[in-house]
Amino acid sequence: MRPATAASGLIVFALLATSCGGSGPKVDAKEPKTAKPRNEIAAVAVSTTKASARQVPSYIQATGSLVADETSDVAPQVSGQVISTPVSVGTFVRQGTVVARLNDRDALLRLRQANAGVRQALAAVRQAEARLGLLAGGKFVASAIPEVRAASANYDQAVAQLRLAEANENRYRDLVTTGDVAQSVYDQYRTQRDTARAQVNNARQQLEAAINTARQSNEAIRTAEAGVESARSQASIAQKAVADATIRSPYAGYISNRPVARGEYVTPSSVIVTVLRTNPIKLQLLVPEAEAPHITVGMSVSLEVDAHKDRKFAGQVSAVNPAIDPVSRSATIEVAVENGDNALRSGMFATAQILRSGGNTAVFVPRSAVFSDQNTQSYRVFVIEGDVARLRVVQLGAEEGDTIQILSGVNADEVVTTSNLGQLYEGARVKLE
């Protein structure tokens, strides 16, 4: 029974296998699958545009630090005790603003004494003028002086008497010759003539003495007036000492340091406050020696600081150091920057661009044509060659509106994609949208 049953089972299995195998063609299980033809790969629809070339300004890149245009350590001109310090660090002061006061009591007393000396000297001038009979500020004329006028009148009278005596002497001399008068009478008139001559000489000497005395008195006036000038000079010095007790800012700026306090005794070597003039503020740049000959005063400069990343500041080259530092092989350039709002502070680090004359040709593409690869930390652009996308790694420059400068990686007039960048890869087929 068992051998017959096994044989019948084998026959049934063979019939079933034959019937299943005849239902279709045979397929080899190990036959490899063929790749899908390239023309059957779906093309990515993209928008394109051409990279454009345009003239852009040429810059010299440099870095440096901001410093105050002027820094002044304000010191007193006189010694004294500080009685007031009305400003603090950070205070903005205008030119002439009081920054400190010293005790001026002694200076005021010396000023009063000097003013009294001026009044005394003026009184001496008036007294000297009164001796000559001059009004205050009157012009000196010797013949107008009373003593001189009196001496002059005496002289004129003596001259008149001499003329009369000479006339009588001549008349009686003739009469003596004719014998009409005695010799004794003639001798009397001759004596009168000689006396008149002596009186004229004496009157002349008195007139000259009066004139000399008047001139000496006038010199006394000049001496008294010089005394007035000296007294006034002393008063001016005393007045300056009073003014020097008030210490003022030499220009408008900010107080950056105030090392003294009320009650301290200071000297002309002491620093009362430090004032910084920060408008305009000065930027000191170091540029390579190869670039130094191309920089001149007046060139435009733009700069940025970390404290104001969203803002650019403008300035102009104000000075170019003619010497090159032998250690760093660079030249120092000074730039004046407008700083009316005090946004820039002394000591800030700045990155600057100095605008060259002329310009360069640069390549620009839309911002939408550039994507950032986070894996490689690089920027990439797809350039279309026929219907194939080619991947280019690019270096970016400045942005202008909706475009961005390509420093390297793309040439002018090459066609770049501006859409569906996430679906593209090196060699991907593309079609225009």
DSSP letter string, 312-377 = EEEEEEEEE-SSPPTTT-EEEEEEEE--TT--S-TT-EEEEEEEEEEEEEEEEEEGGG-EEETTTT
pLDDT of residue 186: 83
| Greatest alpha-carbon span in the chain | 236
Residue type, 72: S
User: In which element (H, E) is residue 392 found?
Assistant: strand 388-400
Q: Is the pLDDT of residue 45 over 50?
A: yes
pLDDT of residue 140: 62
Between CA 156 and CA 162 the distance in angstroms is: 10
Q: Is the pLDDT of residue 332 over 70?
A: yes
Q: Is the pLDDT of residue 398 over 90?
A: no
Query: Which residues are CB-neighbours of 416 under 8 A, at least 6 positions away?
Result: 48, 49, 50, 51, 365, 366, 369, 381, 382, 383, 384, 410
Between CA 261 and CA 323 the distance in angstroms is: 43
Please list the residues that pair with 93 across neighbouring strands: 253
At residue 376 the predicted structure's pLDDT band, cuts being 50, 70 and 90, is confident
pLDDT of residue 139: 66
Q: Is the pLDDT of residue 64 over 90?
A: yes
Tell me the pLDDT tens digit for each residue of 1-28: 333 333 334 333 333 333 334 433 333 4
Tokens of 306: 């970390």
Please list the residues that pair with 80 across neighbouring strands: 266
Cβ density class 159-168: b for 16+ within 10 Å, e for less: eebbeebbeb
Residue reference for tokens 């990515």: 44
Cβ density class 61-98: b for 16+ within 10 Å, e for less: ebebebbbbeebebebebebebeebebeeebebeeebe
At residue 285 the predicted structure's pLDDT band, cuts being 50, 70 and 90, is very high
Tokens of 200: 């004229």
At residue 133 the predicted structure's pLDDT band, cuts being 50, 70 and 90, is low
Average pLDDT over residues 217-246: 86
pLDDT of residue 136: 58
Q: Check if the beta carbon of residue 382 is closer than 8 Å to that of residue 48.
A: no
Q: Is the pLDDT of residue 144 over 80?
A: no
Tokens of 385: 């060659």
Between CA 372 and CA 398 the distance in angstroms is: 16
Here the contacts of 143-149 (C-beta below 8 Å, separation 24 or greater) are 145/210, 145/214, 145/217, 147/210, 147/213, 147/214, 148/207, 148/210, 148/211, 148/214
More confident residue, 13 or 310: 310
Q: Is the pLDDT of residue 252 over 80?
A: yes
pLDDT of residue 39: 53
At residue 206 the predicted structure's pLDDT band, cuts being 50, 70 and 90, is confident
